[in-house]
Structures are given as structure tokens and as C-alpha cells.
Chains A and B, each alone.
Chain A
Amino acid sequence: MTVDLVQISNCVTRKPIPGLDTYCPSQRDPHRNNFCFHHIYILQILGSWTQMFQIMTYWSIRRPLLKCITDAYSFNFITFYIMFGGFFLCTSVIYKNDRFLPPLQVLCVQIKCFHEIITIGYSVYHSYHLPWFRTLSWYFLLCVNYFFYGETVTDYFFTLVQREEPLRILSKYHRFISFALYLTGFCMFVLSLVKKHYRLQFYMFGWTHVTLLIIVTQSHLIIHNLFEGMIWFIVPISCVICNDIMAYMFGFFFGRTPLIKLSPKKTWEGFIGGFFATVVFGILLSYVMAGYRCFVCPVEFNSDSNSFTVDCEPSELFQLQDYSLPAALESLTGWVRVRMYPFQIHSIALSAFASIVGPFGGFFASGFKRAFKIKDFANTIPGHGGIMDRFDCQYLMATFVNVYIASFIRGPNPTKVIQQLMALRLDQQLHIFNSLKAHLTEKGLLPANEEVA
């Protein structure tokens, strides 16, 4: 994390630098890049030091903390989220372009969650003494991660992959290699079946696969969302966290009617209060974030400078537009029109999902803990339990955001379509060319007297 005085001075004198434009005040003002000023470098240093300080403090006081604060649930609750928020902010937002660590963070969380659930499986089935099983579970995790990361890398780093010869071969035969790896694990499982422990082994096999299905696929959806634009990663996660906190607060102060037998501490007042608070929070947060290009632009890998760039022309979703309020709200607030980003309307949908369906993920995890008679998934975070306890609601949210983006926001990526086109045979390309020409002529986008092939 170095401070480059030359770069700072360049920013100040308004010379555009490739890859660093985000941090320079742009000519177009509506996208307030004031925050992304050259002060960013100072903030970066502060951020990294804070981060290290946090980690050191956490690990040193973990044990005494565990001893004396196990009762004060609410205190832990708030402290966790402050800590998490700080960590998150420092590592995700304020970053220099050439390092892009959120995928690694997601990977770490994923591995920890997987480890926690598998450990529960071991203790439920007393299968610690089947040594192959620990190896096989981790091996399957590795295989599935290799498959998904390979697909992501092939999609997003296409030019880099095409350049390097070993990477090109790996990506061309990627599915085959992943399948071969998985098959090896499968055959090892079959060969490891021991006469008296068949049922246990099959249970652990099933347990591993369901865990992989839940955790790994959805952590990769999170990474896909991230590449779409950091705002699609930050806003959903923040909405879920906010819903958690707000529902807890409302329940604490006003809670009376129990919500569901599964979690006796949840109340209807908390649920509804949390819903409204989350929607409002979502609108405000997206308003704040949609102004900055570093959040809004898709993350691209620039193969010339070998770094990640978040620089683009923001789409219409992130441009202020005038909306006239419906009559009811107009009489209420006295405003006739309001300027907001279209993204804020989407954020209402995201917040609504996080408040209404998100808790079901929490109930699922509560039911799971009751079914297997465990109090917490693990003891990683004092007072809170394991990582899985904190991330259980996030998974449904990640899938929802991914599906939402695919359905309502973007279509297929044009660059990717061109790549696929170029990979086809020539006669297939010709066929597509003719179909496309007919389609475009019909739509009136092409003059009708184009040359026919």
C-alpha cells in the first residue's frame, strides 16, 4: 500500500491517468466523485492500518471476551456488526485498483462455513474415526471450487486467458478436467466403503454434497454479483444486516406477538418494523452509493495494465431522473417531483426480499440447529457463534440478487456473445448472420437493400 506522490499531484493537476480516473474529479459533476479524491490514498493507509489493528485486537482479546461477555447478547450483536462493517469497509471499498480482494474474502467465508457444517456432520454421525472422510469432503470442496472459479476466470479474464498458453488449455478443457477430478473423488469414495460403516459413509457423502450445493454455489453467485458492480454486492449484504439489526431493535423495544414457533424470540412487531426500516435504509444507502463510479461500474480486468478497473459510463440505472410522485405521497410530503436513481426502485425490491424471505433462511438455520441439538454452528466469534450463524440469511439473498440481475437488469454480455460466435464453425456463423440480418431488417434497423450473402 504505497502512496505515490506523483499520482497525487497528477490528480490535483487534473491529468487523467488510465486506471486511476475514478479517483480524479471528473468533468461531469452529477457523479459526485468528491469522495474518491486524492485523499483516498491517505484513507487507504488509514484503512489498512485500522484493518490490521482490528485483526490483532480481535485475536488477542478473543478469549477474555468470550469469558466475560457471553451473556450480553445485544452488546455482542452490535459490536459484531460494527466490527464487520469496519472490516468490510476498509477492505472492500477503499482499495487501489490493482488489488481486488472481495472474491478472496468470499472464499474465506465460504471455506469457514463449509468447515463448520461438516464438523457438525462429523459430530452427529460420530464419523471422526473414518479418516478418509475428512479428506474426501475437503477434496470435493476443492473440486467444486475449481470448477466454479475456472468458469468465472474464463468469463471475466478472457483476454488474459487467451494469451497464456497453459491457461488457454486449462480453460478449453476446463469442464473435462473438473469432471475428471470429481470422478476421482467419487471412485475414492466407492473404494473407501468399509463393511460396517456403509450407512455412515453414505450419510456423510450426502451431507457433504448438500453442504456444497448450498454454500459453494451461492458464494459464487455472490462473486458474480460483485463483478456486476460492487453496489450489487454491498447493498444486498447491508440490507440483510440492517434487517437483522432493525428487527432485533424493534423486537426488543416493542415486541409482543410471537412470529413463529421455531424461533420464539422473533416477533411480528420486529418483523414489520424491520421491513419498513430496511426499505428506508435501502433507499438511502443506494442513493449514497449510486453517485460513485467505483461502486456502480462493472469490475473489468484490464489486460494491458494487468489490473482491475472500475471505470465506465454508468448505465441509465445510475443516472438521476425525475419522477413525479403519485398523488397520495404528494399530498403527504408536499413534493411534486423527486430526483432519484432508478436503482433506488430496484433497491426497494431487494430490501423487500431481504425482510420478507430472508428471515426464512434464518428459520431454516434455527430449525437445523434444533434438529441436531446444537446451540451454535461453532464458536468462532465470541457471543455470536460461528460464521455460519451470521451468514445464514445472506445465501438466499445472493441467489435472489443474481436471478434478479439476470432477469431484470442486464441481458447477456455482448463481448461474451461475440466470443461464442467466433468459436462456432463458419457455416453456423453464416446461418446466424442470415437470421440476424432477417431479424434486423424486420425491425427496420437495417436498410432493406443490403447485399445478400
Chain B
Amino acid sequence: MTFFMNSGICGIRRCFGLTPSPAKESSETDGEDRLGLTGEPDGEADGDSKADTPEIPTSVDNTPQCLNKALEGLSSRWRNWWIRGILSFTMISGFFLIIYLGPVMLIIVVMTVQIKCFQEIITIGYRVYHSYDLPWFRTLSWYFLICVNYFFYGETVADYFGVLVQKEEPLQFLVRYHRFISFTLYLAGFCMFVLSLVKKHYRLQFYMFAWTHVTLLIVVTQSHLVIQNLFEGMIWFIVPISIVICNDIMAYLFGFFFGRTPLIKLSPKKTWEGFIGGFLSTVVFGFIFAYLLAQYQYFVCPVEYDSETNRFAVECQPSELFVMQEYRLPAALQNVLRWVMKMYPFQIHSVALSTFASLIGPFGGFFASGFKRAFKIKDFANTIPGHGGIMDRFDCQYLMATFVHVYIASFIRGPNPSKVLQQVLVLQPEQQLSIFNTLRSHLQDKGILPPPRPEAQ
């Protein structure tokens, strides 16, 4: 993540920003076919002097007064260190507090983060394309966000709250025609876009349209994957996020103390020592953390909606993943150590998750760094003092969320039972009966149900 880049650069101010040029009419007015925002192949540092990104006003300092006072005496480098440290600690504690408050709070937090990330990226798009003066566009971007969120949340609600939905009549109608309603809403936005095309600003408008859609694709789909992971069991939410945070911090620390060989031209502050040290320490951390969390039902059980008490319940019989088992060490080690390892199978999965977070996760960070360099911004926003925007902190998480979701779907669980039940309840009665009979004979074969009595009809 950009943790490293920022702290390294804090003393150095790379002058990416060019002096903002006077507001230039968009390139449609000149008869050329070329896009005014193209980086000339031979231009200086990926820039052009025509249309450029004004520097984000970084002089706005969000640091609270009390912190400023407490750190007056230190030099600016250490001061920044402390600010970042304190904020990191605050964020991590906040994270644990929210976990304690339960799944509902987590979902709300995920939603809030998603909206904030979306807003940050869209704001950058406006700034890049000077399209603030196209008023429809802000409305349309937010409208598309609402549509896509409606679609995804509707699917989630229909899956996980099946029983509740069956009870309420308007909800049932909404669920049955959910796709159609979502599609209609999206189409309305699409038609509004087409009707809002203004003669001189076609290209800008198409760019903003595409920008909005790519942002939606990245931000919204993956926040919903996060929520689906959450419903699988809070451990599938907490452990990946903690692993990514740990990898960040560990790679930074290793790089700070031992760093020597640069890793990639894109992020000059990253080093191979940090990378490898981060990898090993993350695997160990993940292993231990998974062991700690797998003992509690609160984390391990899928989140269910209890329709009687109208609450979320996290109680269940833990699956075999979370039941301590004995593993024999491979023969070579066995002669040396003669231990019998008792651990949860989940810890082995956590090794896979840690490996991914350490090896592939940083690519998300490089992507975000490249993005910031391409559009000449230092940070996505200024929400968190010393750290930049929310997007800065969450850029690595997105790849991780998708990976965990795919991992669960491929290796851990089969289809979601409540979703299957949903589908069965929507079928025609004759089909339901035939499924019922098939299922009954299957269960009788397996011995779960008593065999049919001789006088069966």
C-alpha cells in the first residue's frame, strides 16, 4: 500500500503538479481528432501542458488540534511518523470495536467505506476531465451507484432473509421481480445519459460514463463480495483484512530497518527485503491469529437471520474446519521433533490467504500508485490525516476480498443452502413435489430418514 510511499515522500515533495492553466475549452472545439489529455510519447514525465490536473490542495491539514499541540517539539519527519502511528492505532482499535458491535455494524461500515471510495474516485474523474460544469453528471453517477447497490443488496436480502421475505407481501413482489426492477432503473439512467449528451461535450461525457462504470465495477462489486464473505462467518472477514494490514505494517518495518534492493520502479520505496520479510511474518501472524479466532463461535459461525427474534444470530455447530484435529508432521520432521500437531484445518487455509495477501496484494497497491501517478495526485483525498483518503487504505483489500470469495466458493463450501431453498420455494408446486420426493428417497438411502414403511401409499 501507499503507506510506504507516503512516509518516504513526506519529506520530499515531488513536483508533479503543474501550475493550473486557465480553464480551457474542451478539445471538441478544435477540429483535431486527438484527445487533448493524451500523454505525448515524447512529453515530459507523462504530462502535457494543455489540460492538466490541478494539484490537490494539500495544505488542508485535518490533524486535530490536540495532536498538533502534543507533537510540537518534534522535527517534521518524526512528527509525521507519530501522526501516522497514532491514526493507525486508532483505526485498528476502531476496527475491533466495530467487530464487537456485531454484523449489522460491519455491514453499515462496509457500505460507508464503499460510498466514500466511490466518491473519492469520481471526484478525481471530475477533476481530471474538468467536468464539474456538467451538472447532470454528478446526479447520474450517484444514480448509477444507487441502482447497482439496489441490485446487489436485493440479491443478498433475497438470499439470506428468505423467511422474512416470504412473510411480507410487498417484499415478496419486490424479490420476485427484482432483476426486472433493477434493470428498469438502470435503463432509466442509461436513457437519461443519452438524452443529456451535449453537443460540445460528447467525449467528456462518455469518459465520465466509462469512469463511473469502471469505478462501480471495482468498488461496488467487491464491497458486496466482502459482505458475502461476512455472512459466511465473521472470521472470513476479519482474518483477511487483518492479514493485509499486517502485511503492510510488517513490510514497512522490514523495509525500514533492512531495506536495500528496490522492488519495482513504480514504487521506489518498496524493497525486496520488506517484501520477503513481510511475507514470512504475515504467514506466521495469520497462522496464530486464525488459531486465536477459531475457538469462538461468534467468529466461526455463519451469520443467520433469526426471524423469530428479528436479530442476527451467530450460533451453530462449528464445521470441521474449526474443530481441532491432529496432524502428523511429515516423516523427516517427525524424527527430529516428535510433536503431534494439533491445529485447526482453518489454519492451513489461513496460510493460503496470507500467501495471497503478501504476494498478490501488493499489486493492488502498485495499481493504485500507478493510478495516482497517471493522474498526478498525491493521495486520493484528505480524509485521514497523514494517510490520505479511505481509498488509500483500502486499495489492497479489494483484490483480497474477491480472492477470499472465490476461495470459499471453490474450496470450502458448496452452494448456499438458503439460496437453494429460495429457489425451491419459487418453483411450481408439481416441481416442488417431485423435488421433495427425490430428496426424500435420497435421504432415506443415506440413512438419515427412516426407510418408508411397508404400508406406504
State the Cβ distance, A353 to closest chain B Cβ, in Å. 9
Q: Which of B37, B199, B435, B450 contacts A436, CB < 8 Å?
A: B435
Residues of A contacting B371 in the complex (Cβ-Cβ under 8 angstroms): 198, 202
User: What 0/1 pattern do residues 180 to 214 of B give for CB contact below 8 A with A?
Assistant: 10010001001101110101001101100011011
Complex alpha-carbon distance, A433 and B199, angstroms: 61
A99 interfacial by beta-carbon distance below 8 Å: no
Q: Given A173-B410, A206-B211, A418-B438, check contact A407 B202 (CB 8 Å).
A: no
Q: Given A400-B183, A436-B421, check contact A423 B435 (CB 8 Å).
A: no
State the Cβ distance, A197 to closest chain B Cβ, in Å. 6
Complex alpha-carbon distance, A261 and B409, angstroms: 49
Q: Identify 22 residue pairs between A and B in the complex whose beta-carbon atoms are under 8 Å apart, listed by A's number.
A: A172-B410, A173-B410, A175-B406, A179-B406, A193-B366, A199-B37, A201-B374, A364-B190, A367-B194, A403-B179, A406-B179, A407-B177, A417-B420, A417-B423, A420-B423, A423-B414, A428-B417, A433-B439, A436-B432, A443-B429, A446-B433, A453-B448
Q: Are A210 and B194 in contact (CB under 8 A)?
A: no
Q: Are A421 and B179 in contact (CB under 8 A)?
A: no
B370 interfacial by beta-carbon distance below 8 Å: yes
B133 interfacial by beta-carbon distance below 8 Å: no
Residue of B373, B399, B420, B432 ringed by the most chain A CB atoms within 10 A: B420
Q: Which of B210, B366, B442 contacts A429, CB < 8 Å?
A: B442
Q: Are B203 and A372 in contact (CB under 8 A)?
A: yes
A345 interfacial by beta-carbon distance below 8 Å: no
Q: Are A417 and B424 in contact (CB under 8 A)?
A: yes
A368 interfacial by beta-carbon distance below 8 Å: yes
State the Cβ distance, A95 to closest chain B Cβ, in Å. 30
Q: Are B217 and A213 in contact (CB under 8 A)?
A: yes
Complex alpha-carbon distance, A396 and B187, angstroms: 9
Which chain A residues (172-203) contact chain B, with CB distance < 8 Å?
A: 172-173, 175-176, 179, 183, 186-187, 189-191, 193, 195-202
Q: Are B453 and A364 in contact (CB under 8 A)?
A: no
Residues of B contacting A411 in the complex (Cβ-Cβ under 8 angstroms): 423, 426-428
The 4 residue pairs across chains A and B that have the minimum distance between CB atoms:
A371-B202, A198-B374, A407-B180, A176-B410
B11 interfacial by beta-carbon distance below 8 Å: no
Of all chain A residues, which has the CB nearest B163?
A435
Q: Are B38 and A126 in contact (CB under 8 A)?
A: yes
Q: Are A414 and B426 in contact (CB under 8 A)?
A: no
Q: Are B213 and A190 in contact (CB under 8 A)?
A: no
Q: Are A262 and B194 in contact (CB under 8 A)?
A: yes
Of all chain B residues, which has the CB nearest A261?
B199
Q: Are A414 and B434 in contact (CB under 8 A)?
A: yes
Complex alpha-carbon distance, A432 and B428, angstroms: 17
Q: Are A209 and B448 in contact (CB under 8 A)?
A: no
B142 interfacial by beta-carbon distance below 8 Å: no
Complex alpha-carbon distance, A430 and B210, angstroms: 47
State the Cβ distance, A117 to closest chain B Cβ, in Å. 11
Of all chain A residues, which has the CB nearest B216?
A213
- Of B40-48, B102-110, B235-243, B305-313, the segment with at least 4 beta carbons within 8 Å of chain A is B40-48
Residues of B contacting A406 in the complex (Cβ-Cβ under 8 angstroms): 179-180
Of all chain A residues, which has the CB nearest B209?
A210
Which chain A residues (336-373) contact chain B, with CB distance < 8 Å?
A: 357, 360, 363-364, 367-368, 370-373
Residues of B contacting A453 in the complex (Cβ-Cβ under 8 angstroms): 443, 448-450
Complex alpha-carbon distance, A372 and B403, angstroms: 37
Q: Are B402 and A179 in contact (CB under 8 A)?
A: yes
State the Cβ distance, A73 to closest chain B Cβ, in Å. 23
Q: Are B406 and A432 in contact (CB under 8 A)?
A: no
Question: Which range holds the interface residue count of chain A?
Answer: 35 or more
Which chain B residues (391-439) contact chain A, with CB distance < 8 Å?
A: 399, 402-403, 406-407, 409-411, 414-415, 417, 420-421, 423-429, 431-436, 438-439
Residues of A contacting B429 in the complex (Cβ-Cβ under 8 angstroms): 440, 443, 445
Of all chain A residues, which has the CB nearest B446?
A426
Q: Which of B33, B431, B433 contacts A373, CB < 8 Å?
A: B33
Complex alpha-carbon distance, A196 and B46, angstroms: 4
User: What 0/1 pattern do residues 411 to 452 of A give for CB contact below 8 A with B?
Assistant: 110100110111111101111110111011001011000010
A129 interfacial by beta-carbon distance below 8 Å: yes
B69 interfacial by beta-carbon distance below 8 Å: no
User: What 0/1 pattern do residues 6 to 39 of B give for CB contact below 8 A with A?
Assistant: 0000000000000000000000100001110111
| Extra inter-chain contacts (12) besides given A176-B409, A429-B442, A430-B448, CB under 8 Å | A175-B406, A175-B410, A183-B360, A190-B367, A199-B46, A202-B371, A360-B190, A364-B193, A372-B206, A429-B443, A433-B440, A453-B443
A408 interfacial by beta-carbon distance below 8 Å: yes
Of all chain A residues, which has the CB nearest B264?
A191
Q: Given A412-B423, A414-B435, A451-B450, check contact A423 B183 (CB 8 Å).
A: no
Of all chain A residues, which has the CB nearest B420?
A420
Q: Are B363 and A187 in contact (CB under 8 A)?
A: yes
A207 interfacial by beta-carbon distance below 8 Å: yes
Q: Are A435 and B421 in contact (CB under 8 A)?
A: yes
Complex alpha-carbon distance, A357 and B189, angstroms: 12
Q: Are A196 and B427 in contact (CB under 8 A)?
A: no
Complex alpha-carbon distance, A417 and B440, angstroms: 15
Q: Are A199 and B439 in contact (CB under 8 A)?
A: no
Q: Are A432 and B45 in contact (CB under 8 A)?
A: no
B67 interfacial by beta-carbon distance below 8 Å: no
A124 interfacial by beta-carbon distance below 8 Å: yes
A404 interfacial by beta-carbon distance below 8 Å: yes
Residues of A contacting B407 in the complex (Cβ-Cβ under 8 angstroms): 176
Complex alpha-carbon distance, A310 and B60, angstroms: 68
Q: Are A195 and B177 in contact (CB under 8 A)?
A: no
B152 interfacial by beta-carbon distance below 8 Å: no
Q: Are A421 and B420 in contact (CB under 8 A)?
A: yes
Q: Which of B33, B187, B366, B443 contacts A430, CB < 8 Å?
A: B443
State the Cβ distance, A392 to closest chain B Cβ, in Å. 12
Q: Are A198 and B39 in contact (CB under 8 A)?
A: yes
